[in-house]
Structure 1
Amino acid sequence: MSPQAVAESTRADLRNAYAKAQGPFTVSDEQGDFIVMRASDYDGEPPLTEGEIRVLEKGYAQALRGETRDAFESLAEIRAIYGL
């Protein structure tokens, strides 16, 4: 198969996978995960506001300080309190 035919085949495979996933999708290999998405989808992502960045930074700082709780344990406590 010629390099051009391989490129066309790869392009078609990516288009089909993108359509099946209905948008960006993750691909894994021995080096880790990466996301396949169209540039037009990425360009449409609005940047974070300064307020959103502050909230993320605050949460990250809390996690670094160990100020976290297990979500499943917290849900179990809530269910027990309210008889759920």
Structure 2
Amino acid sequence: MTEGSKKWFAGGRRMPPAVMVWLAAGMTLVVLGDVLLLVDSGFAGGKTWLRVASIAAEGLLASYFWASFVHRRRV
């Protein structure tokens, strides 16, 4: 991969929109599942901050995939 290139697949192709939407939907479900687990546990445990930080990072990743999908559909 050359510097500044976003072509990651063999043959210099970009990630297809179908792959992006599957990754986005999957990460969204992971975030929702983690939020439900956190709420179900009643925020119990000493590592609540770690779980919240994990949910935030997963949420950012899901947002990135959704934004990439929307951008690829418009181009």
TM-score, normalising length from structure 1? 0.29
Report which of the two has the higher share of helix. Answer: 2
Report which of the two has the higher share of strand. Answer: 1
TM-score, normalising length from structure 2? 0.32
Q: Highest Rg: 1 or 2?
A: 1
